[in-house]
Amino acid sequence: MVKFHTMAACLSMAAGLALTAAASSAVAAPAATGYDRCASGNFCLFQDIDGQGRVVGLGGERASLGSLDFDNITSSLRNRTGRVWSVYTNVNFGGRCLPVAADYTGNVTQYSMNDQISSARPGGCPS
Ligand SMILES: [Ca+2]
């Protein structure tokens, strides 16, 4: 009997340690940074190049990024929607348009779009 209780105590303690270890690793997991902050299914705009600075994730079209306090500040993008999107230099999908491939992750500076994007929506640029 004594031996049985000892064994049970050991098993109980082992289970407790396992739970503690699991909780510790969950707490220790690093917060997402950079482009990784873009959740699956979202079209994300970042304030700075290389996925840095503030970020907003869109699930659908946005005729004015000003409503998100994100007008004319985007420097990089990540498209996790699985389809092409398009971004525009003016509100209401006007001005110059840049198509963004379904899996694009990168800057917009090389397309002369730095700090110029004012609206965005799923689908390609108007023909
Ligand atoms: Ca910027």
Dump the DSSP string for the chain: -HHHHHHHHHHHHHHHHHHHHHHHHHHHSPPP-GGGGS-TT-EEEESSGGG-S-EEEESS-BS-GGGGT-TT---EEEE-SSS-EEEEEEGGGEEEEEEE-TT-EEESGGGT-TTT--EEEES----
- Quote the ligand 1 centre to 2 CA distance (angstroms): 70
- Quote the ligand 1 centre to 50 CA distance (angstroms): 10
CATH of 40-122, one of 2.60.20.10, 1.25.50.10, 3.50.50.60, 2.40.10.10: 2.60.20.10
Q: What is the pTM of this model?
A: 0.77
Domain edges within the chain: 40-122
pLDDT at residue 126, as a whole number: 94
pLDDT at residue 32, as a whole number: 87
- Quote the ligand 1 centre to 34 CA distance (angstroms): 14
- Quote the ligand 1 centre to 53 CA distance (angstroms): 8
- Quote the ligand 1 centre to 83 CA distance (angstroms): 24
Place of tokens 């082992």: 14
Q: Specify burial of residue 78 (Cβ count, 10 A radius: 0-12, 13-18, 19+).
A: buried
pLDDT at residue 29, as a whole number: 72
- Checking if the pLDDT of 4 tops 70, the result is no
- Quote the ligand 1 centre to 114 CA distance (angstroms): 6
